[in-house]
Amino acid sequence: MLGKILGYEVNGNLILVNYKDIQCTVTMVNERVVNFFAPFFRKERNSKAVENLKCENIEFSVEKNEGCLNVKTKLLDIRIYDDFKVDIFKSNGEALCRDFRGERKPFRRLGANFSLAAEEGHKLEGHEEYKIYVSKVMENDMYFYGLGERTGSLNKKGYHYRNWNTDDPTPHGETYAQLYKSIPFLITMKYKEACGIFFDNHFESHFDMGKENSNYYYFGAKDGNLDYYFIYGPEVSKVVNEYTNLTGKTPLPQVWTLGYQQCRWSYAPAERALEIAKTFRKKNIPCDTIYLDIDYMDGFRVFTWDNKKFENPKDFTNQLKEMGFKVVTIIDPGVKVDKGYKVYDEGIKNGYFATDKDGIVYKNVVWPGDSVFPDFMNSNVRKWWANNQKIMIDAGVAGIWNDMNEPASFNGPLPDDIIFDNDGTIVTHKEIHNVYGHMMDKATYDGIKEFTGKRPFVVTRACYAGTQKYATVWTGDNQSTWEHLRMSLPMLMNLGLSGMAFCGTDVGGFGHDCTAELLSRWVQVGAFTPLFRNHSTIGSREQEPWAFGNETEEINRKYIKLRYKFLPYLYDMMHKCEENGAPIIRPLLYDYQNDKKTYEINDEFLFGDNILVSPVVEQGSRQKLVYLPEGNNWIDYWTGTEFEGGQYIIKEAPLDICPIYIKAMSIIPTSKDVNYIGEKDNECLNLNIYLSNKKGIGNYNNFLDDGESFDYKEGKFNKYEFNFELGEALNIEMKEKIGYEKVYKEIEIIVHNFDCSKKVFFNGNEVELIDNKLKIKL
């Protein structure tokens, strides 16, 4: 209890609130974002997510009223009370977020014999105590989203989650409280009103959305400072945009990273990986990337190659390059204890590894046996790790896959008191555990950027808020089960809402044996996830696209080709994401917040702005109940049939059909068939205009650059802006902004659902459609 407010002062965007033994800070970041900070642990912030907090110059007033400090902006009315309690209202007085004043009362389990249950081995759920704890009033019509990679339903109401990055090899069920990632960002929503809470605390933290008591939701931490941001929408899109303004946008990736990727533990020796690559080309199945799991290394020593399995790594990667493949290799943080091994020797000599409280280098067991762990909190260690990326880059590796970076270890987790050096400030493992992988990813990103000059491709299993600046993520070691296919959809949607726009799953499932039907249905989902990687474990049945016979091979080929067809659209969406944080795979509510029926749909998603995907995720199902959101008409991609929004329909879905719907009055750019990205010159843009049976307008921006460098940040890109209007005639207009030397030579416009009796105009000139197509020479 902090006691009564004794006074306050305003310093720029900061409001310093004085209590008896502590000074708290309210930071007015902008008109819709406010930070609340109480230095319970140390006076300074130590955020690895918000690296450079920028405040806008806004007008706000502060008044000391009876019982509270009243802060007003154009949008918000913030009331700060004794004990640093906070209520936030809209400017019209409508409540948005209020601290709960009642006593904390976990639901009683009436008649429970706890001691007997414990003797039988049942796990009992009590309630934990926290040094940092904030509870908020929960209203009946509230919904909860975000929190990153979480099992269970899209709406997190009634769930409790723990933020403590954890490698748990058992199959993940709906009730798992923690997995590999900790993103303490929660979106709360009432009808048409969305807000966000970002609790920037690296210690073990917890979020409870009414599981403990339906009168309140809370967030708390075992230690550290109270440091949280309130974000007001009211649109979900604005909440996500502001959150990613704080923690960083997902950067535009190299375009090849959006292609199909094939992985297994393991494609070794080199001959096996080359055989896989040749089979893709022989079977005319597009693929851009081959992964190498841990068996490529010499005794699992990071930054080494097994010279028996990969006699000449550079020659090996060159052979794959000639076939159009990139190579991505796994790297773990654990460094083998082995005198004479360069990486280990350098780390020991320079004091680069974490130690115990007595200064002795800490050891645990991972794949190489006894291993030590780099101190990624130290900038010198990160620079050293970044420099080691050159070993892989020089061997022809195009991307790095960071695994086991929770950090995971075989002899139990690293103890809480292991010491790290945060550039002069001594910190313990319990404080930095959740950001360990985040800082490893930063080091990896920096190294690849330095030695290639290209946009780095880093894939990571563990992350924290803000990791999207450095890496793409996948949902870890899933299983080849229908439950995990179903569960992957809300997991990915909530990752997207949590800033991790570049995300995916192990298509087909990592553990256990996949089946033909499950693989095809999973490929249909993967074709519409930003990261499209098939991965499976050692000893399981192989699950390459051709692994189950001709029928499913043809289906898998069809959807992998469809992915490549939509690549220009996906690349445009990734560029848009870098600008406004909009996730690629997103729940329907993101764009259709006014349609309450979208709030709890777990098995459909939007792929960017204009495509709705409703995959089949039940074994044996050959139909799908599809909800089409209110506010737009929707066009069946396969049949061209137009449907009114705001209704459920039943779609026939044999094994080769995934229900896909295009938003009417939208534009989708597509590409020609290729085996890999860059196989053919990008000289023609295919532009699909999907008309409605109603009058209306539509627009689309297409982005073109070299697809790999940072030159676009210097203006070296082309922007093609298309606008169309359907009335008595169809009017299409195009504007160009040219900054990149390579331009389209031709644009082919394909008009779907066109009434041939209407005239067509392009940039004011009447033109003729031939077979509903129009070719424009540039």
* DSSP secondary structure, 409-450, as one string: -SSSPPPTT-EEEETTEEEEHHHHGGGHHHHHHHHHHHHHHH
Residues 140, 217, single domain; the answer is: yes
Asked whether residue 345 is assigned to any structural domain, the reply reads no
What burial class does residue 412 get, using C-beta atoms within 10 Å of its C-beta: 0-12 exposed, 13-18 middle, 19+ buried?
exposed
Helix (H) and strand (E) counts in the chain: 12, 50
DSSP per position, 567-578: HHHHHHHHHHHH
266 cis-preceded (ω within 30 degrees of 0): yes
Q: Are residues 12 and 120 in the same domain?
A: yes
pLDDT at 110: 46
Helix (H, G, I), strand (E, B) or coil at 551: helix
Angle at 154 between CA 152 and CA 159, to 5 degrees: 50
Strand ranges for 303-410 from DSSP E: 326-331, 335-336, 364-366, 369-372, 399-402
Of the candidates 332, 406, 517, 604, the residue annotated as catalytic is 406
The phi-psi region of residue 114 (left if phi > 0; otherwise alpha if psi is between -120 and 50; otherwise beta) is: alpha
Measured CA distances, 281 to 274, 320, 405, 552, 769 (Å)? 11, 11, 34, 17, 36
Question: Is there a domain that residue 672 lies in?
Answer: no
Output the six-digit token pair for 386: 């970044």
Catalytic residue among 403, 446, 553, 642: 403
Dihedral pair phi/psi, residue 639, rounded to 5°: -110, -20
Residue 314 lies in a domain: yes
Residue 485 belongs to a domain? yes
Q: How far is CA 163 from the centre of its chain?
A: 16
Position 607 in a domain: yes
pLDDT digits (tens, 9 = 90+) for 505-537: 999 999 999 999 999 999 999 999 999 999 999
Q: Same domain, yes or no, for 187 and 112? A: yes
* Residue 406 annotated in active site: yes
| Cβ contacts of 70 within 8 Å, gap of 6 or more | 61, 62, 63, 64, 77, 78, 79, 80
Q: What angle do CA 661, 666, 668 make, to 5 degrees?
A: 75
Give dist(CA 184, CA 200) in Å, integer.
7
User: Strand, helix or coil at 33?
Assistant: strand
In a domain, residue 532? The reply is yes
Check which CATH number belongs to the domain holding 698 and give it: 2.60.40.1180
How far apart CA 362 and CA 418 sit, in angstroms, is 7
Structural domain span for residue 534: 255-330+381-412+430-580
Residues of the chain with pLDDT below 50 are 109-110, 124
Active site residue 673: no
pTM of this prediction?
Answer: 0.96
The CATH number given to whatever domain includes residue 289 is 3.20.20.80
Which residue in the list 477, 506, 544, 553 is annotated as catalytic? 477
Tell which of 532, 555, 580 closes a domain: 580
Q: Where is the domain boundary, 516, 548, 580?
A: 580
Identify whether 552 is part of a domain. Answer: yes
User: Do residue 542 and residue 640 come from a single domain?
Assistant: no
Provide the CATH number for the domain around residue 63. 2.60.40.1760
Same domain, 44 and 176: yes
711 is catalytic: no
CB 63 within 8 A of CB 70: yes
**Could you tell me if 169 and 225 lie in one domain?**
yes
Phi, psi dihedral angles at 425 (to 5 degrees): -105, 120
For residues 570 and 652, state if they share a domain. Answer: no
Question: 593 with 659, same domain?
Answer: yes
Query: Is residue 668 in a domain?
Result: no
Q: Are residues 208 and 275 in the same domain?
A: no
- Kindly state whether residues 53 and 150 are assigned to the same domain: yes
Answer yes or no: are the C-beta atoms of 230 and 262 closer than 8 Å: no
Instruction: Determine the 3-state secondary structure of 661 from DSSP.
Output: strand
Number of domains in the chain: 4
Whole-angstrom distance, CA of residue 522 vs CA of residue 4: 57
Q: Which of 207, 228, 247 is the last residue of a domain?
A: 247
Same domain, 399 and 543: yes
Residues 569 and 593 in one domain: no
pLDDT for 45 equals: 87
- What is the distance in angstroms between the CA of the first residue and the CA of the last residue of the chain? 70
Radius of gyration of the chain (CA): 27
The Cα 707–Cα 663 span in angstroms is 27
Cα distances from 570 to residues 21, 252, 659, 738, 752, in angstroms, run 53, 11, 18, 21, 20
